[in-house]
Amino acid sequence: MRHLLSVLLAASAALAQPAKPPHKTTAAIVDLEAKGVSDIETSALSDRLRVEMFSTGAFDMMERSQMQEILKEQAFQQTGACNTDACAVEVGQLIGVEKMISGSLGKVGKTYSVVLRLIDVKTGRVEQNVAHDHTGEIDKLLTTVMKSIAQKMAPAVSGGPQLARGAMPRPASEGKPVYKKWWFYAGIGGLAAAGAAAALLGGSGGDGTTTPVTDDPLGTPPNPPQAPAWGGSGR
């Protein structure tokens, strides 16, 4: 019994260890190509997108200043905007990130269009395309649109499930390993408590006798009380 308790306590301690933090994908953003929008506005929106991507928890974003410093040290020569996939991959290789994000910000009439690509630096493959149109003031791009785009791109690297339109999410307990379910810990706690009680009761008594311990740590429950038999009444 003591050996069983030791095993259960050791297993509980091992499972209680904090989980390692999830891996974050290293990424960087090439400033969006401006199409009918000022460079200042485009630069500000690129910075906001960088912040929103980091806030998803899926990306470890490199700051613009750090990226520029590395490119300067590598004597990277660039003519014009870095708006091609090949340019983004080359920049990603030089600064040492896993993913690059590039695209454009354009305006036609009163509608702004943000088009972004998530590119794998190792393979050069475009893993995700995101396009978002907004009709109205450009302020909305800063306060809402960039956050929405970042949330759409995060599942591509985090491996999280993407629900189909109208699908219901799975229950939180479904699909979890057995050691992550509440009833597993409740069972361990119950067995440990019962084992401890049995060990205490099964030790030597005050008169020097030894109380036998059964295989069942919970013991055999008493028989339920029986109702008295009704003999009827004669008149």
Q: Where are the domains of the chain?
A: 25-157
Q: Is the dihedral of CA 60, 61, 65, 68 positive or negative?
A: positive
Give the DSSP per-residue string, 125-162. -EEEEEEEEEES-THHIIIIIHHHHHHHHTHHHH----
Listed residue (73, 77, 55, 67) closest to 31, CA to CA: 67
DSSP-based helix, strand, coil % in the chain, nearest 5 = 40, 20, 40
pLDDT digits (tens, 9 = 90+) for 214-231: 555 445 555 655 555 555
- Terminal C-alpha separation, the chain: 61
Task: Please state which CATH number belongs to domain 25-157.
Answer: 3.40.50.10610
Model-level pTM? 0.59
Give φ, ψ of 104 to 5 degrees.
Answer: -145, 160
In this prediction, residue 176 has a pLDDT band, given cuts at 50, 70 and 90, of very low
pLDDT digits (tens, 9 = 90+) for 50-108: 999 999 999 999 999 999 899 888 888 766 678 789 999 999 999 999 999 999 999 99
